[in-house]
Structures are given as structure tokens and as C-alpha cells.
Structure 1
Amino acid sequence: MITLCYHRPLDDAWQREAEQLAADLKVSVIGRSKGQRLVIGRDYVTEELEVAGRTFRYRQPEGAFTQP
């Protein structure tokens, strides 16, 4: 997941380029501008953590912080 922050509004041209970037890199792309948020793909990452032989999965949304 890649988040890109801008000072200008995101337009259709930005969205087309972001979709191509997401496809080329096989990642999700999130664009942020004042009052605007465009998501290409998902806005979260699913993480796995193994503890004492058990696997724990948790979803970390964009902009959040977790520390196992």
C-alpha cells in the first residue's frame, strides 16, 4: 500500500496514472489531497503474526499504527 499526498486536487488523469502504477507494482495506491481521498485497490494491509504456534491475523487500515 502506497499513500501519496498532494497540495492540488486529484483529477481523472491522476486516477488513470495511479491505476497503472498500482497494476505495474501490484500494490494499492491511495491519493490524498485537501478534502479528497481516492483509493485504488484496498485501504488496508492484512498482517500475520505467529505466537506460540498460533497465527494471528489483523487488518491495519491506512493511517493507523499498530505494534504487536
Structure 2
Amino acid sequence: MTEDIQKACEIMHAGGIILYPTDTIWGIGCDATNEKAVQKVYELKKRMDNKAMLVLTDSSAKLSMYVSDMP
């Protein structure tokens, strides 16, 4: 599994998108800080870019790096 995670990180670092398993479905992932990668996900999902997507992070402390107005 470590090799799979390493490969997924390499792909996302290069601006690519990945599929990853969740409890019930497959998720589509990318580097949320890479605008081109995020656009690829929107295009793949045929989703309007005014619809929000989830952003996952490994700690709540990192939220302030990406969100300027937190309650």
C-alpha cells in the first residue's frame, strides 16, 4: 500500500488526478491548491465550476493555510 500512496502523491504533485476508495464509493482527488488539477476534476465530473467540492486535509490546524475567514 505504501507504493500506491507514493504513486498517488507523485501524480497529484505533477497536477494529475487520482481515484481513491472510501467506505462506500470511489473518490476523485487532486491537489486542491493546483487550479489546473481542480479544473480537470470539474471537467471529468462535468460539473459547473460554481459548485463546491470537498477539500480534505490531515489536520484542522492546516485549515488556516487555505481559508481566510473561519468561524
In the superposition, the TM-score normalised over structure 1's length comes to 0.33
Larger Rg: 1
In the superposition, the TM-score normalised over structure 2's length comes to 0.33
